[in-house]
Every structure is written in C-alpha cells, then in structure tokens.
Structure 1
Amino acid sequence: MLPTEGNFMSNKSYQSWAILVKDYILAVPNLPYTAVIGSIFACKMVYDLCHLISAIYFKSYSRLSRFQRVEWNNRAISTIHAIFMTIVSLYFVFHSDLYLNDQSAGPITLRSASLSTFALGVSVGYFLSDLGMIFWVYPSLGGVEYVVHHLISTVAVMYAMLTSEGQLYTYMVLISEATTPAINLRWYLDAAGMKSSRAYLINGVVMFISWMVARILLFIYLLCHVYLHYDQVKKMSTFGVFLVVTAPSVLYVMNLIWFGKIIRGLKKTLAKRD
C-alpha cells in the first residue's frame, strides 16, 4: 500500500518535530533554558487549573477575596514544586552515585549531570514565577523577607544550574522544600474556617517536626559538610564559594526566625485546646 500525500506530510512533520526536540530542546547546552521556560509555563497551567477546579469543588473558594484566591492558586503551584523538588533532592543527596565521596570522580563541588541540571532549571522557573506573583500583588503573598528569600534562592539555584558548581549543596538546601506542603495546608485550613479542627492541630505538629528536621538540623549538617569538604569547595569560583558559604547561612538565620513563629503558633493552638 503506497503512502498517501497526507501520510507523507504527517510523517515529515513528525520527523521535523522529533529533530527539533532532539537537537535543540533537549540538547545539553539548551537543557537548562528548556527547563526554566517549561517550568514557567507549567506554573501558569497549574494556576489556571487550580482556579478552575477550586471554583467548582470548593465552596469556601468563592467566599475569598481576589487576593486570597490568588494566594490559594499560588500555593497549589508551590506545593507541587515542593513535592517534586523534595523527591529529586533526596534522590541526588542520599541515593544517587553522582555525589559519592569518591576522590577519583573529582571534587563533589564540580559534579553534575543532565538530569540534575534540568531539575534545577525547573526550580529556577518556579522561583521566577513566584517572584513575579509576589511583585504583582505585593505584599499580599509576602513582604520583604519573602522577596529576600526568593532572590537568594533564585541566584543560588541559577548559578548551580548554569555553572554546574555546588549542585550538591543546592540540592541539600532544596530538601527544605519538604516543609512547604504542611505550611500551605495550614493556610488552606485557615481559609476554610477550620482553625479549631483536629486537622489544624495535627498540621501544626507536622509543621514543627518537618521544619526542625528540614530547615534547622539539615542546615547544620550542610554547613558542617561544607566545613569538612572546604578543600573541594575552594576549587569553585570565588562567587561560587561565596554563595555556598553565605546563602545557606542567611537562609538558616531566616529559618530560625520563622521557626520561632511556628513554635509560638503551635503553643497558642495547644493552649486553646486545653
């Protein structure tokens, strides 16, 4: 059976698209930019889907103000990003062979792979999207401290993505995204008028534990790891060394401040139930 002209054109179009994907979109030099752009579009898609689904299935959504609906949808994006980055970060830090303490593989501060670079690009796209939304409705989604946190995170993750330096420490910091789903759930429960519910109490306890592990103890581990491997850290560029030392330190101080607020909030919740 001879191919028709339509089938021929269809096959040609498919081959052209396959070549475009292989030689440009997924080419190693373009992989970071593909991930960033794709992530930004994915954030917009999640925002729109959350708005559509919430308007249909959640009665409390229609009672929210315009800015509260924006935050509701925005937190859906951050939750999905957090789950994705937590899984990827845990894999690279504790399971992958990429960052094993093997001297023959070269300094751990200079190791990277296509997948690790792509995942960092996804995170950069999210942080850029979130920064845009913060500025769009400022200060409804957060004040100066959120802007500082996101700027530091964006610069550090983008640097690791573009230079392949310090990716291990970047992923250690990104494990802290494990706390985000619990934080967002707390906001959702509050918006739905469930502050007196058992779920709200359990959420507060989960927030306390996850924050202590992922944003306090883990950062201490990270800073100790930097100290013990400083001979390899010094092989990075001057700016890379600066980021590895200062970015986690600044974020750690901010985490301590926020942790104090979490403890006070949990105490208030427990006191109300006595």
Structure 2
Amino acid sequence: MAVSKRTSMKFKSVKNQAGVLVNSYLLSDPFILYTSVLSGVFMSKMVYDLSHLVSTSYFRTYAGLTKIQRIEWNNRGMSTVHAIFIAMMSLYFVFWSDLYSDHYLAGTITFRSSPLSSFALGLSVGYFISDLAMICWLYPALGGIEYVIHHSLAGIAVAYSLFTGEGQLYTFMVLISEVTTPEINMRWFLDTAGLKRSNAYLINGVVIFFAWLVARILLFVYLFYHVYLHYDQVMQMHIVGYLLIFVVPSALGIMNLMWFGKIIKGLISTLAKKI
C-alpha cells in the first residue's frame, strides 16, 4: 500500500514537472515560435518513418511498389496526419473557441492569438517546410508546379501569421480546407492498391466532391464575407498581412476551382462506368 502511494506521488510529481516544462518553455514566448516549427518538422519525419514501418508490416501492396511509390505512400501518410490535426484545430478555433468571437472584447479580431493557436500554426509550418522540401527534392515525382505554388503560398501565409500574430483567424479558415486531404490521399491509396473499380473508390469520390464543395469553395466565400464585415479591422494590419489575406485565399480559391472541375469530371467518369 505504501509502495503504491509512493509510486502515485512520484507519477504526480513527474506529471507536474512535465506541465511546468510545457507551460514555461514550449508554450511561452519567444520559444513557442521556434519550438513549434521544429516540432512540426520532427513530427513530420516521425510520421513518415512510422508510415513506412506500419505499411511494411501490414500492407502487402506496399512491398510491390516502386521506390518512388513507397516514398509517395509515406509522404501521403504524413500529410494525412497533418491534415486531420490542423483541420480539427482550425474548426475548433473558428467555430467553437471564443478567441476570435465578436463577443470577445479583448482587442481587434485580426490581432488576437494564444499560445495554443500559435503552437498549432507552428506545427503546420513545420509540416509545410518538410513536405515542400520533399516535393522540390523529388520534383516532379510528388507533384507538379501547382503543388509547389500551393505549399509555398500556404507556408508563407501560415508563417507570417505565426510570427506576427496577425490574421490568425483567417489563416485557420483557410487551413480548414485540409479536411479534404485525407480523402484525396485515400483515393491515391485505393488506386495504387488496384481498387479503382471498387465501391470504396466510388464512395470516396462522392465524399471528396461534397467535402471539397464545402471546405474549399463555400468556406472561401464565407471567408471573404467575414473579411468584408470586419474590413475596418483588416485595414489595421500591416500591408504585408493585408495583402496576404486577399492574395493567398484568392490564389488558392482559383486553384481550388480548377481542381474542383477535375473532381467533377472524374466523378462523372467513375459513375458512368458503374452504370
């Protein structure tokens, strides 16, 4: 009984020390900006390696892939984990947190931030750095110029928002669009596994259509409407942040529309083969 009590006390002590470390170092200025980005790079590499380990052990298809296909497989596993994380964090900050609420009276909405919001953005910057480095190093095997442009614009905008604290709300709105990434990656996995004619492939295509429509088309309309309603606050930002709020979402929105056209054509083609 005494041993159990001492063990419990030691565990609580370690837990308290870990909490102090997180609050006083990882989530404190100015360290949060740099530790979050480095953590994002480290976690991206860790997920990439974990994807390789799990796929080697549990997916027979993986063993028959070429070297570049295995790299892309692991890369897509990495992007899927990032997408799930940042989409969940973005949904929380945009729709559930009071941080960017109009009813929250702590300053201009375009200048609000918190240690948690900054840490989440830092992890995302770390991912974009890692993924863009892989895309450029293996270009064009992992994606063409549109991927380089997309990741560059996204990375620059997120990094600016992180290091200046400006426009984080709109950055999270754009990052909600990452909710479509797991479905896009699943489409590639199913195709690579030879399941292009399966019902799972068709269902995945339908999910991509609706997810893309909501997260990458309608949500961007809402973003610009929100900017319109809060234009007086947007005007208070630095000229760089002001331009990023308009240029990056506009460029990404145009690319989203172009990709949406391809998604519609692909879905129609798949449905036609099923009928």
Task: Report if TM-score (shorter chain) is over 0.5.
Answer: yes
> What amino acid sits opposite 2:137 in the alignment?
W
Contact 2:28 2:115 in 1 (8 A): no
> How many pairs align?
261
1:17-51 Cα offsets, whole Å, 9 max, x none, are 99876654443211021111011111111111111
Distance 1:56 1:16, change over 3 A: closer
Q: CA deviation at 1:104?
A: 3.2
Q: Hey, what does 2:10 align to over in structure 1? A: none
Q: CA deviation at 1:52?
A: 1.3
Q: Hey, what does 1:52 align to over in structure 2? A: 53
Q: Hey, what does 1:84 align to over in structure 2? A: 85
Aligned-partner Cα distance in 1 for 2:123–2:84:
12
Point out where structure 1 has 5 or more consecutive residues left out of the alignment. Answer: 1-13
Aligned-partner Cα distance in 1 for 2:141–2:122:
26
> What amino acid sits opposite 2:43 in the alignment?
A
Aligned-partner Cα distance in 1 for 2:112–2:22:
26
Contact 2:27 2:116 in 1 (8 A): no
Matching of residue 198 in structure 1 with residue 207 in structure 2: no
Give the SS at the match of 2:142: coil
Q: Hey, what does 2:249 align to over in structure 1? A: 248
Aligned-partner Cα distance in 2 for 1:89–1:134:
25
Q: Hey, what does 1:5 align to over in structure 2? A: none
Give the SS at the match of 2:30: helix
Q: CA deviation at 1:102?
A: 3.3
Q: What are the equivalent positions in structure 2 for 1:46-125 lying under 5 Å apart?
A: 46-102=47-103, 104-125=105-126
Aligned-partner Cα distance in 2 for 1:171–1:113:
13
Give the SS at the match of 1:201: helix
Distance 1:22 1:217, change over 3 A: closer
Aligned-partner Cα distance in 2 for 1:53–1:168:
36
1:106-130 Cα offsets, whole Å, 9 max, x none, are 2110101010000000100000000
Q: CA deviation at 1:227?
A: 1.4
Q: CA deviation at 1:103?
A: 7.0
Q: Hey, what does 2:261 align to over in structure 1? A: 260
Point out where structure 2 has 5 or more consecutive residues left out of the alignment. Answer: 1-13
> What amino acid sits opposite 2:74 in the alignment?
N
Q: Hey, what does 2:6 align to over in structure 1? A: none
Give the SS at the match of 2:65: coil
Aligned-partner Cα distance in 2 for 1:88–1:226:
21
Q: CA deviation at 1:72?
A: 0.2
> What amino acid sits opposite 1:90 in the alignment?
L
Distance 1:16 1:84, change over 3 A: closer
- Identity among equivalent positions (%) equals 60
Q: Hey, what does 1:155 align to over in structure 2? A: 156
Aligned-partner Cα distance in 2 for 1:102–1:37:
34
Q: Hey, what does 2:8 align to over in structure 1? A: none
Aligned-partner Cα distance in 1 for 2:62–2:21:
42
Q: Hey, what does 2:134 align to over in structure 1? A: 133
Contact 2:91 2:176 in 1 (8 A): yes
Q: Hey, what does 2:145 align to over in structure 1? A: 144
Compute the TM-score of the two structures, normalised by the length of structure 2: 0.91
Aligned-partner Cα distance in 1 for 2:30–2:251:
31
Distance 1:113 1:20, change over 3 A: closer
Aligned-partner Cα distance in 1 for 2:23–2:233:
35
Aligned-partner Cα distance in 2 for 1:23–1:98:
21
Distance 1:98 1:16, change over 3 A: closer
Q: Hey, what does 2:11 align to over in structure 1? A: none
Give the SS at the match of 2:237: coil
Contact 2:37 2:124 in 1 (8 A): yes
Measured on the aligned residues, the alpha-carbon RMSD in Å equals: 1.7
Q: CA deviation at 1:260?
A: 0.3
Aligned-partner Cα distance in 2 for 1:112–1:204:
36
Contact 2:27 2:115 in 1 (8 A): no
Q: What are the equivalent positions in structure 2 for 1:222-233 lying under 5 Å apart?
A: 222-233=223-234
Distance 1:102 1:16, change over 3 A: closer
Q: CA deviation at 1:225?
A: 0.9
> What amino acid sits opposite 1:112 in the alignment?
S
Q: Hey, what does 2:9 align to over in structure 1? A: none
Of the structure 1 ranges 14-23 and 141-150, higher mean CA displacement relative to structure 2 is found in 14-23
